[in-house]
Structures are given as C-alpha cells and as structure tokens.
Amino acid sequence: MSSALPVVGRLDVGLPVHISVHKSGGRDVWSAPLESAPEDAVQATWDALNEVLDPEIPISLPELGLVYGVEVEGGVATVSLTYTATACPCMEFIREDITDRLISESWIDSVELVELWDPPWTSERITPEGRAKLKLLGVSA
Amino acid sequence: MSDALDPAKMGTADKAALERLILTLADSKRLMGIRYSDWLLGAPSIETGIAASSMAQDEWGHARLLYSMLKDMGIDPGPVEHDRQAEEYASIGSLDEEMPDWAALVAAIVLVDGAISVVLSSFATGSFESARGRVPKMLSEEEFHSSLGAAWYRRLAAAGGEAKELLTAATKSILPPTLAWVGAADDSTGRMVAAGVIAPAEDRLATFRGAAREFTALVGIDIDAVDATPEWDGARGRTPGHPNEEAVQRARGDLNRALFVE
C-alpha cells in the first residue's frame, strides 16, 4: 500500500491514549466489590454487569440485551457483547464501564471483551425487566 | 451456505482478490457516508437532514467493520483507512462526485446504496466467516435507508416537473457505473465467486435489476436496456477515475491526523 502522505506524529495536545477520563453515567449505582471470591463466578459477573448502565438509556447492558455471554476462568472474565448499532457512539464508554466494573472485583484479574455482530441486536433482545423499566420512563420498546 | 473459508490457507491471488473485494465495499461505504453527510444541512426538511445524518453514521460504522475484516489477512486497517491517495480508492464510481441536488442523493440511496447492499447480501451468505458474522447487522440497518430512499424516489417521480427531471437525470448518470460495479466479472471477482465468497455476476445483476426496476420505470428508464460503463479498472475493481480530493481528505481524516484516538 503506497503512502505519499506526510506522516504526522501524534501531538501531545492533552488527549489521553486511553480516553477513560470520559466516564459515563450510572457508576453511582455500582455496588462495592465482593469481599471474597464468589462460589458462582459467572453469576457474580452477571450480577456486576447488571449494574452497568447503557450510557444513553438508563437500563443495564444485560437488560438491553447487549451481553451475549460470560465466562470466568483463571481470573479472566470474558464478556461477549454487541452494540445497538454498528456506529454506536458509546462503544468506548461501554467497553470502559464493563472493564472498570469487573476489574474492581478482587477475584477478576483481567477482562476480555469479545464483540459480536451475530445475531444482530434488535429491540427484541430487551429483557422483560428492561422493558418494564423503560415503560416507567415513558419509553416504549 | 458455503463451507467457511480460511484466509490463512488462501493462495496469494485469492487473498489479493478478497482484499480487493473488501476494499471495494468498505471504500464505497465510506464514500456513501460522505455523500449522505453532504446533505445533513440543506435537505428538504430538518427531519430528512437528520435521517441523512443517521445514515451517514451507519455507513461509517459499516465501513469500519468492513475495513477491520482486513485483519483476517494480517493487514493493518489503519493505514488503509488513513493513508491512501484518491487514486487508490476502490469505491463505486457513482460516488466520485458530490450529489448536485437532493434528487440525485435520492437516486443514490435507491441505486447505489441499494447496489452495495446487493453485493453485501451475497457476501453475508458466502464462505467468508467475518462477513457472515458482521454483514447481517449492516443489512438490518440498511433496511431503513432503503425505506427512506424508496419513499422519496416515488415522491419525486410523482411530483413531476423539475423534481422528476432531476431524478431522471441522476438515475441516468448513476446507473452505468453502478451496473458495472455490481456486475463485475473480472479475474479477481471470478476468484471470489469460485471460492464461494460472493454470488456470480449474473445473479448479483439480476438481484439488483429486480430491486431497482420498479423505480427506474417511474422515470421512464428500462433498467434492462441500460448498458454498464464499459471501461473497467481491474486492479481496483471499479470504473476508471477516483473520488474527488475533498471527499478523500475527509475520508482519511486529514484535518485530524494528529488527533486520532483509535
């Protein structure tokens, strides 16, 4: 691939490489980390994810139907997820919120996110609990 | 559905053909997004401009997912997205210039965005695993583009007068390079057909003509009587020419090269 364009080095203009300065909302509802490793790490991971709200809609990522699967092995939590749209502007927020929530647990050493597009997300994936909360907010889905 | 293709086991020529196919689709998506964005302001209504904004967003999301498929072949998509010259773009020739009026954009939604979806539909059911997993979401988002384009095409055609004249002129202009792109049958495309990555040219063309026929008929154009642009650049998989420089500068993000965060 030819490239005659000038290669401009990244300027230090204060932009962080990891944009975690941009915290999304909802972190105030996060519980304190568990004091010890849970018996059921997968369920505990789901419980933690249920506290991570979508940055635009105040229901959790599992309630919105974005989380496709959770595995925990050897301190590594693997979360399979999707997004509502291919150009979702909140992808980075969601990645950081999931990672920050899970990594706060002493029994999780690292978090791996597997981003999937199959099956595609549709509003059909919103859980009954999520729909009920949206209804209270005056949003139909 | 074909058996899954393993890019690691592909020969050099087949790999190059898959890379070219991905680029023709990704570059077309990127340029389609720019053409939508040209009409965020100046569309016939605020609501329509907002729709154009959403569709531009979708197209760039699709482009990003398509470029990322290059990773399957060990290619870093970063330089591909940000470092190429206009002459290296493989986008469909119908998008080389800004749409001169709203009617032209409407024709492009139906005919160009529609044509890209025809090839993507074929890609989604072919043997390339990354396409199987990612393209269905793109196609589901494209359904909204298709609905809006169809409604506007019918509206302008029914309006008659200048609206219909502009729509007719745009349709005539857009069809030949679009037909050439959909019906590409060069060696590179042939390799992808043989590998089960996309459908044969005649099938792609039949699907496209079938979907577009009712619309072109509204402006008195028999799509079956329109010839594809005969010139073809086999290296890039498109008709000769390239997108205008201003569009490519925006596609590459030239003004923000020092500020990329991805």
Q: Which domains does chain A have, with CATH numbers?
A: 39-130 (3.30.300.130)
Per-residue confidence (pLDDT) for residue A58, from 0 to 100? 87
Please state the rounded mean pLDDT for residues A95-124: 96
CA distance B102 to B170: 10
Please state the rounded mean pLDDT for residues A52-76: 95
Token look-up 């939604």 returns B109
Chain B CB contacts of A82 under 8 Å are: 137
How many CB atoms lie under 10 A from the CB of residue B68?
A: 16
Per-residue confidence (pLDDT) for residue A1, from 0 to 100? 43
* Interface A:B, Cβ pairs < 8 A: 68
Residue of B nearest to A91 (CA): B61
Q: Sorting pLDDT into bands at 50, 70 and 90, what band is B259?
A: confident
Q: Sorting pLDDT into bands at 50, 70 and 90, what band is B262?
A: low
Q: A79: which strand partners?
A: A70, A113
State pTM to two decimals.
Answer: 0.88
- Of A9, A118, A121, Cβ closest to residue B133: A118
- Of A8, A82, A85, Cβ closest to residue B141: A85
CA distance B171 to B68: 32
Cβ–Cβ of B62/A86 closer than 8 Å?
A: yes
Per-residue confidence (pLDDT) for residue A12, from 0 to 100? 47
DSSP-derived secondary structure letter, A112: E
Q: What percent of chain A has pLDDT over 70?
A: 83
Per-residue confidence (pLDDT) for residue B255, from 0 to 100? 86
Q: What percent of chain B has pLDDT over 70?
A: 98
CA distance B91 to B250: 14
The string of pLDDT tens digits covering residues B130-145 is: 999 999 999 999 999 9
CA distance A36 to B32: 52
State the amino acid at position B196 in one-letter form. G
Please state the rounded mean pLDDT for residues B234-245: 96
- Of B85, B254, B259, Cβ closest to residue A4: B85
Q: Does domain B9-255 have CATH number 1.20.1260.10?
A: yes
Pairing assessment for the beta strands A110-115 and A67-73 based on DSSP bridges: unpaired
Per-residue confidence (pLDDT) for residue B185, from 0 to 100? 95
Cβ–Cβ of B58/A8 closer than 8 Å?
A: no
* pLDDT value at A109 more than 80: yes
Angstrom CA distances, B176 to B108, B112, B124, B227, stand at: 13, 11, 25, 6
CA distance B91 to B80: 13
Which letter, b or e, does each residue of A83-117 get, where b requires 16 or more Cβ atoms within 10 Å of its Cβ?
A: bbbbbbebbbbbbbbbbbbbeebebbeebeeebbb
Cβ–Cβ of A117/B60 closer than 8 Å?
A: no
Q: Is the ipTM of this complex over 0.90?
A: no
* pLDDT value at A2 more than 50: no
Of A10, A19, A84, A86, which to mutate for an interface test with B (greatest number of B Cβ within 10 Å)? Answer: A86
Where do the domains of chain B lie?
9-255
* pLDDT value at A57 more than 50: yes
Q: Sorting pLDDT into bands at 50, 70 and 90, what band is A48?
A: very high
Pull the structure tokens for residue B215.
């619309």
Per-residue confidence (pLDDT) for residue B1, from 0 to 100? 52
* pLDDT value at B100 more than 60: yes
Q: A115: which strand partners?
A: A81
Using a CB–CB cutoff of 8 Å, tell me whether B260 touches chain A. Answer: yes
Please state the rounded mean pLDDT for residues B19-31: 98
Token look-up 């940055």 returns A55
Cβ–Cβ of A85/B61 closer than 8 Å?
A: yes
CA distance A27 to B66: 33
